[in-house]
Amino acid sequence: GLLTFVHHDHPPGRLWSVENRRYFQTPVSPTFHGRDILAPVAAYLAMGVDPSAVGPPTDGLERLPTPPRAEATVHGWSGRIIHVDRFGTLVTNVHGDQLSAGQGRREGLKVTVNGTLIGSIRTAFHEAPVGEALALIGGSGFLEIAVNQGRSVDRFGPAEAVRVDVG
């Protein structure tokens, strides 16, 4: 699932099954494969180890189902919350590239969560006073609902509906 969103927009080229334990951190924890397998293997690859050394080639790539992108509406987009991150930020299925046509007029976009108006899309947390909710495009490229120095999940609960209106 780690690369599902990446491979959704960028199909992979060649693939190898990571099996050669020589390149793993030991012992390998049953729950920290990112630390014990993926990071060490990536480091070896970055140092020039041939990818074929980590395991045999494969064509098997299991992708998890991804939520559909937000739907275009007459007034903008209608989306939903797909994830709450560890900071309590609500991550939506509204992707920044859906709003890219509005890049120059982002000030005119208004975000609403479960009927509560959040306001326009900001570019950074400091643009909102401490404790105020804000909408921004996060590092993953999706519209996120956050609270400056707070947790939006605590403010909005298990929110579901997100709307972005133009005008």
Angle at 127 between CA 165 and CA 74, to 5 degrees: 5
Bond from prior residue into 51 cis (ω within 30 degrees of 0): no
90-99: b or e for each residue (b if 16 or more CB lie within 10 Å)?
A: bbbbbbbebb
> How many Cα atoms occupy the beta-carbon half-sphere of 9 within 13 Å?
8
**Separation CA 13–CA 47 (nearest Å):** 20
Nearest by Cα to 63 from 7, 15, 16: 7
Which ranges constitute the DSSP H helices of the chain? 4-9, 33, 39-46, 152-156
pLDDT tens-digit series, residues 94-152: 988 888 754 444 567 899 998 889 999 999 999 999 999 999 999 888 999 999 999 99
pLDDT in tens, 42-98: 999 999 999 999 999 998 777 777 777 888 888 889 998 888 999 999 999 998 888
Note if the pTM is more than 0.95: no
